[in-house]
Amino acid sequence: MTADLLNIFEYEQRARDTLAAPAFDYYASGAHDGLALRDNRAAYDRLRLAYRVLVDVSKRSAATTVLGTPVSMPVVISPTAFHGMAHADAELATARAASDAGTIMILSSLSNTAVEDVVAAAAGPVWFQLYVYRDREATAGLVRRVEAAGCEAIVLTVDAPRLGRREADVRNRFHLPEGLSVRNMLPDGYGDVSQQAAESGLAAYFESLIDPSLSWSDIAWLQSLTTLPLIIKGIVRADDARQAVDAGVAGIVVSNHGGRQLDTSIATIDALPAVADAVQGRLEILLDGGVRRGTDVLKAVALGAQAVGVGRPILWGLAADGQAGVARVLSILREELDLAMALAGAPAIDAISADLIAKVP
């Protein structure tokens, strides 16, 4: 049981105690020295809140929209791979908890559960995170398949032409446990994350299958495959944000892949103000990386994010207590955000403004 756990950091510790070491290491580790991983978190601690007083906060609402979809709070579930290592119910538990919380689940391409089953289990919106494979026909088929399954958006990850070197996975010779696979790619023969790799099986999977030639010129091709809105995930620069606007995508995610790709990359909350200034409201901005407290959510919204995504905290909840653990993690963030809004003098999301931030990167 997890009733004694008060915050997301305690859920992380419970997950560490619960999971097999290779699984926890896979979820928790960053690239190389882990500087980007740690700085994603530390960057929030560098920001201070200049709260308002004598504001009527007796009634508060964190409700907002993301790409026109109503959500109960500006928190969505970021795509993370291989939920089956955390709990037997895998992505089904996560999808159900997201729906119950009134928010969006972004399903990873590297899920252990087929997209059709996840959408069927969810009572709310599911988006699909996409990697582009060297086999472009397989990629096109997957895009059409997820639209037919009922996904409501495509989230294209663009910061992984190769996999960042995650030394814990190399040391563990990471591979999926028996019985787990990349279910969405099984029909195309790309479902196996090898147990025979000399180092990390996932790194070997990326090197052989994921297309490193993906460029801005391919965005129009992807858009031609689907009627779903396209969101680009992995933006940290103003010029890339402007390119996304010019490409006509629906949104971007300011993200450095949770510190798992290029180590020493800029913390996402530090990158957000310049990106928001470049975009000027012409598309929606989400942000992920390092969000662990309700005050983090408030800071990100104040600096221009429509919503934040949480990844690892969902896995900690899933490992600790399945669907109930995911639900509790989301509830903690909701409760902490509500308290932060009350104490900051911001009774609604549109009252969370940039002047609440006392120190901007």
pLDDT, residue 198, reads 60
Round to whole Å and give the CA distance between 271 and 238.
8
Q: How far is 349 from 301, CA to CA, in rounded Å?
A: 8
Calculated CA dihedral for residues 26, 162, 115, 12, nearest 10 degrees: 20
Catalytic residue among 83, 87, 175, 257: 257
**In angstroms, rounded to a whole number, what is the distance separating the alpha carbons of residues 72 and 234?**
25
Q: Which of 159, 352, 328 is nearest to 256 (CA)?
A: 159
Contacts of residue 144, Cβ cutoff 8 Å, sequence gap at least 6: 225, 226
What is the per-residue pLDDT for 192? 81
Q: What is the pLDDT along the chain (361 residues), one digit of tens a residue?
A: 677 999 999 999 999 999 999 999 999 999 999 999 999 999 999 999 999 999 999 999 999 999 999 999 999 999 999 999 999 999 999 999 999 999 999 999 999 999 999 999 999 999 999 999 999 999 999 999 999 999 999 999 999 999 999 999 999 999 899 899 999 988 778 878 866 556 688 888 888 889 999 999 999 999 999 999 999 999 999 999 999 999 999 999 999 999 999 999 999 999 999 999 999 999 999 999 999 999 999 999 999 999 999 999 999 999 999 999 999 999 999 999 999 999 999 999 999 999 999 966 5
Place of tokens 């979809």: 69
Residue 361, pLDDT score:
56
- What's residue 197's pLDDT? 59
How many whole angstroms separate alpha carbon 125 and alpha carbon 168?
A: 34
Where do we find the tokens 């975009």?
279
Please say if 257 is a catalytic residue: yes
Residues 6+ apart with CB under 8 A from 330: 75, 97, 98, 101, 103, 317
Q: 10 Å Cβ neighbour count for 274?
A: 18
pTM comes to: 0.96
The two tokens of residue 263 are: 């180590």
